[in-house]
Amino acid sequence: MSDSNRSVWSGVRLDRSVAWIAIVAAIALLGLRMLAAQVLLVVIPVAAAGGSLLYLATRSGHASAVEWRSLAERPALTIPTLPASITGFLPAVAALALTGFVLSTHLAGVRTDLSTLLVAAAGTVVLVQILFTDRIAPGVILVEILAVALVVRLVTLAVTPGYIGVDIWTHATVYIAGIAESGSLAPLAESKYLLAPVYHGLGAVGALAVDSPRAGIYLTVGLVVPLSLVFVYGTATHLVATRWALLATALVAFADQFVRWGLHLIPTSLGLVGVLAVLYALTRVIDDGPAPWAVGLALVAALAVVFVHQVSTAVVLVILAVAAGVVTLTWATGQSDGKTALALLGVFLVTSATTLVAWAQAPFGGETFLWRELAVLESVLIDQAGFLALASTQEAVLGGATSGETTIAALVPYVEQFGFALLLAGAVTGGLALLEGDRPTDLALTHLSIGGALFVIVFGLSLFGVRALLPGRWLAPLYAALAVLAVIGVGAIARSRSRRVVLAALVVLAVGYPASMAVAEKATMENPTFEDTHKRFAYTHAEIAAVDSISAAHPPGDRAIATDHPYASLFRRYGGYETDARIVGLGAGGPDADWVVYRTEQSTGPVTFDRSATAPLDTLPPNVEGTVCPPSYNTGYANDEVRLCTASGGDR
């Protein structure tokens, strides 16, 4: 870049200008909350404005992204630290909290509120070691982060009967068990996973090794997902000092979306591992040059994702396209080496071609996956897309144990989104810091662009009702990108002279982030912390045994089964009922089905029902069991928690 261009870049004070624009835009976006009942319409603008204000309040000097990595960690920081007599015991405190989590979860047989509190405490202790200790021990802290990630996931999986989540019941009991038994990919023959079988093959290998599909999945995919945090650490070390690379790793490890895919172990989980590997490989290629091993790693990781999961492949293609685009643009303007641009373009083109071939051959719903998805996307753009066509936060069904909106229930989403707000605010601060001083490096600009692109796809497209790309599956990669940007922001403000502001921000981060993420819905799927608000996406031994017994006595195709959501999904995926299991509709005259399944959770948890077409109920009576299973119905099966009720008359 010429001196004249550099002076223009610096003269406009781009960082401050963008910060003020972001604040004004955030205030304007808050007005959308008046038009739609969506929590994120408050959280995102407030976080963006907060990150911008924090940057404006704490910035000092004109350190560039390149200079940050060369600064000594401790002398450059102005925040107070804990005395060595205390910090020396912090690893033991983290280990004690983790041990308490294991014992409390084992004794209760499920994650309890105490278990969640101990996880949050362990997370806070880890963050305190990173943020408030004079000298860090990178190896020790990295082991602590990995230990927390592994123990929380594996212990939770071990104590939960069956599986956690919805889709895994098909992947494990139909596909993986079928592959292990048949010794071939025949069970995938009619599935879109026929040309994306890596997850199922890995799970089948594990199942054969330990003679159990459940244990096989947990000891393969279940171990790989948390260990993939090393890719986050490796990526961040090329942008920031070791202290902040550890912080990025911890932020991802404790994030609810990352915990989610460590519990609901489906192809998305393994795809996430591939995405993090691609990010690491691209970082090495851009920062160190196109060494054959780094380019090869990027290509192998990208191609592996193609054969793991389709949505993860789309994420990888976006990341590759952005990286290749940024480096090619800087090459075209004479600011970078053409070899790196050509290498990235090559990886992107090969991955894109492989994706098109695989998708064009994969069966899906009687068509190929490629044409089916293009038709779905076209339908969404034509028939459903529109400004503020948001996914509803209220389901048009009856809640089993809900009694209307309360103040606490209204605050729950904000408590759960607080961690995301902190992450986004930090990412905004980091993005502004990258605009300070001289032109950002190619690497910094690439990560900033990747974070922006993923954010637009997840939240921007959703704002217009375009959710065909399944934005929920993009959140974990987005969190990883935001974490890298956030630690750049933390590293920038940590050298500010505004010590009180910085100290307050870091204390809120250390305490609030792990706590919010630990109680969030997606991190506690099997036993939600806010049990009156969120459904439980795991089942008890009695609930699983009921599906076994009912499906054995009344095989699929014999009669249709109706029950609540999400229990109906267990009958479809595990019981084999597929189209013969649905959500029961309730009305003043009783259920709209002859064979209805009641379970205790319907009286105590926020399960949902459909409304009957005739005389639908506006509220559910206190006697839920009597409503689902009227006295006129017979009992066809019963255990301590589940009851099959059958009408004495004919089919309806």
CB atoms within 10 A of CB 326: 22
Residue with tokens 């690439």: 446
Q: Please list, in sequence order, all residues whose beta carbon lies within 8 angstroms of the beta carbon of residue 80, skipping any fewer than 6 positions away.
A: 132, 499, 503
- Closest C-alpha to 141, from 132, 129, 131: 129
In whole angstroms, give the CA distance from residue 441 to residue 165.
41
Peptide bond into 566 cis (omega under 30): yes
Alpha carbon separation from 18 to 24, 82, 186, 370 (Å, rounded): 10, 35, 55, 39
Joined together, the tokens standing for residue 417 give: 């989104």
The confidence score (pLDDT) of residue 200 equals 97
Q: At what angle do helices 40-58 and 407-434 cross, to 10 degrees?
A: 40
The confidence score (pLDDT) of residue 334 equals 76
Measured distance between the N- and C-terminal CA atoms of the chain, rounded to whole angstroms: 75
In whole angstroms, give the CA distance from residue 391 to residue 534.
16
Joined together, the tokens standing for residue 255 give: 């994030």
579, burial (CB in 10 Å: exposed 0-12, middle 13-18, buried 19+): exposed
CB 487 within 8 A of CB 497: no
CB 598 within 8 A of CB 575: no
- Express each pLDDT in 542-580 by its tens digit: 999 999 999 999 998 878 999 999 999 999 999 999 889
In whole angstroms, give the CA distance from residue 44 to residue 421.
7
- Express each pLDDT in 469-498 by its tens digit: 899 999 999 999 999 999 999 998 888 878
- Taking every pair of Cα atoms in the chain, the longest distance, rounded to a whole number of angstroms, is 88
In whole angstroms, give the CA distance from residue 231 to residue 16.
32
pLDDT averaged per 10 residues, the chain (length 652): 42 81 93 82 95 88 44 53 89 97 96 96 97 92 97 97 96 96 93 95 96 96 97 96 96 97 97 98 94 95 97 98 95 84 96 97 90 88 72 50 63 94 97 82 93 95 86 96 96 85 94 97 95 93 97 88 95 92 89 94 91 77 90 94 85 46
Sequence letter at residue 17: S
- Express each pLDDT in 566-622 by its tens digit: 999 999 999 999 889 999 998 888 898 999 999 999 998 899 998 887 777 777 888
pTM (two decimals): 0.93
Q: Are strands 585-587 and 590-591 parallel, antiparallel or unpaired?
A: antiparallel
Residue with tokens 């912390």: 529
The confidence score (pLDDT) of residue 441 equals 85
325, burial (CB in 10 Å: exposed 0-12, middle 13-18, buried 19+): middle
Strands, E assignment, 259-324? none
